[in-house]
Amino acid sequence: MDNIWGQARAELETLVGSNNYTRWLAPLELTGLKDGTAALSCPTHFLSDWVSRHYSRPILEVLNRNGTPVERLSFTVAAQPAGPAGPATAPAARAAAPRPALRGDDEMTAPLDARFTFDNFVVGKPNELAHAAARRVAEGGAVSFNPLFLYGGVGLGKTHLMHAIARDRQARDPQARILYLSAEQFMYRFVQALRERTVMDFKELFRTVDLLMVDDVQFIAGKDSTQEEFFHTFNALVDQGKQIVISADRAPGEIKDLEERIKSRLSCGLIVDLHPTDYELRLSILQSKTEQFRTIYPGLVLGTGVLEFLAHRITSNVRVLEGALQRLFAFASLMGRPIDLDMTQECLADILRASDRKVSVEEIQRKVAEHYNIRLSDLVGPKRVRTLARPRQIAMYLAKQMTSRSLPEIGRRFGGRDHTTILHGVKRIEELRSEDRSLAEDIDLLRRALEA
């Protein structure tokens, strides 16, 4: 056990960097290995929460790579005051809510993931604006837009960009007080301050930062007193000219149960969305991750066409894409085989099947008709008025993009139109997309709704 963990520790330190290692991983001990679960003991709940949220993956990876097959981690808090049920164990996947304390600067900001840097962020059309805005904020200087509001679906890089901002800004200005946390943690801290009657400290802490970043702000929707406090914190910082960065899974106006005054405050700065990835971006991300994995798994052979295959087939989000690649490398290294298409299909069967849930042309037509408030029969029918023709072309475009149907097959589903008509429609929308921002937004919205 000691050997296994000793070896793993050394590699983890290289993998996550020595600061992160010392702070988060050094206190852990490996206490057991059974049925694919590695048991780790941890001095505090806080630590076990963070480790299970942020470091499960590298730990699993390193253990597996060193020939200890594990699928799960479980954490035991060793220094618990002895309760009737003994030490508490929490499975890594269902990490308990963090209970960060307001005990000074060290615990002020959530730990940053060492991998989430600007250098590791691959820029493409769907995220170039968000990336540029994030860079701008990281540079510091005069606040040009406040807040920066980043939004987009899961796994598209919001958290990555926020960590990158924090890291970069801190490197430029070591004196800057930067506070990054999720809206969930904001709430826990606030509730804790209420309970412990330390609200003044709480206010003081949040009002003296230079850069505040709150991730996944949709979480506070419907939580009235937290929203209220957030609103005041927000205003106080904006008044002092301090930069704020917010992320959410949707645009401010679309977050239900968020107070109007907060929505309008959030909309005052720059709102940028991270679009769903396109094929080119997915391929670049895969190439970049492959480079990183090569340092961990030297000597692995990657067959041609594997990355292209993955970029085509796994379209859901970057996290899934990354997970797939990681599993593939780990598998190939364990089996001592080169990575080819056969192995890819075998090893990733479940992920591939899940992303195969393709939408049908009919679903697309229904959604588009609903969105533009027209009848489905008109959408596929022969009338050529513009109010019908444009949505029809959008539906054709989405059908081509989102399904694997051929042009003639799509034509048949659009009232027996010729494949050239479909091609024309698809081309037309491609042209319009780059000129007409509101049309581009409509399309993204529809696509997201269909992918959900």
Closest CB 287 distance from ligand ADP, rounded Å: 11
Q: Which of Mg ion, ligand ADP, none has residue 365 at its interface (CB below 5 to 8 Å by kind)?
A: none
365 makes contact with Mg ion (CB under 5 A): no
Q: Based on CB atoms, which residue is closest to ligand ADP, 216 or 229?
A: 216
Q: Three-state SS string across the chain, please?
A: CHHHHHHHHHHHHHHHCHHHHHHHHCCCEEEEEECCEEEEEECCHHHHHHHHHHCHHHHHHHHHHCCCCCCEEEEEECCCCCCCCCCCEEEHHHCCCCCCCCCCHHHCCCCCCCCCCCCCCCCCHHHHHHHHHHHHHHHCCCCCCCCEEEECCCCCCHHHHHHHHHHHHHHHCCCCCEEEEEHHHHHHHHHHHHHCCCHHHHHHHHHCCCEEEEECHHHHCCCHHHHHHHHHHHHHHHHCCCEEEEEECCCHHHCCCCCHHHHHHHCCCEEEECCCCCHHHHHHHHHHHHHHHHHHCCCCCECCCHHHHHHHHCCCCHHHHHHHHHHHHHHHHHHCCCECHHHHHHHCHHHHHHHCCCCCHHHHHHHHHHHCCCCHHHHHCCCCCHHHHHHHHHHHHHHHHHCCCCHHHHHHHCCCCCHHHHHHHHHHHHHHHHHCHHHHHHHHHHHHHHHC
Stretch that binds Mg ion, among 11-19, 97-105, 158-166, 363-371 (CB under 5 A): 158-166
Q: Which of Mg ion, ligand ADP, none has residue 417 at its interface (CB below 5 to 8 Å by kind)?
A: none
Q: Based on CB atoms, which residue is closest to ligand ADP, 113 or 229?
A: 113
Closest CB 288 distance from ligand ADP, rounded Å: 6
Q: Based on CB atoms, which residue is closest to Mg ion, 159 or 355?
A: 159
Closest CB 172 distance from ligand ADP, rounded Å: 21
The residue number whose beta carbon is nearest to Mg ion equals 159
Binding site for ligand ADP (CB under 6 A): 116, 120-122, 127, 152, 154-160, 285, 318-319, 322
Q: Based on CB atoms, which residue is closest to Mg ion, 159 or 243?
A: 159
The residue number whose beta carbon is nearest to ligand ADP equals 157
Candidate list 20, 159, 317, 344; residue touching Mg ion; CB under 5 A: 159
Closest CB 395 distance from ligand ADP, rounded Å: 28
Q: Which of Mg ion, ligand ADP, none has residue 189 at its interface (CB below 5 to 8 Å by kind)?
A: none
Closest CB 446 distance from ligand ADP, rounded Å: 20
Site residues for Mg ion per CB under 5 A: 158-159
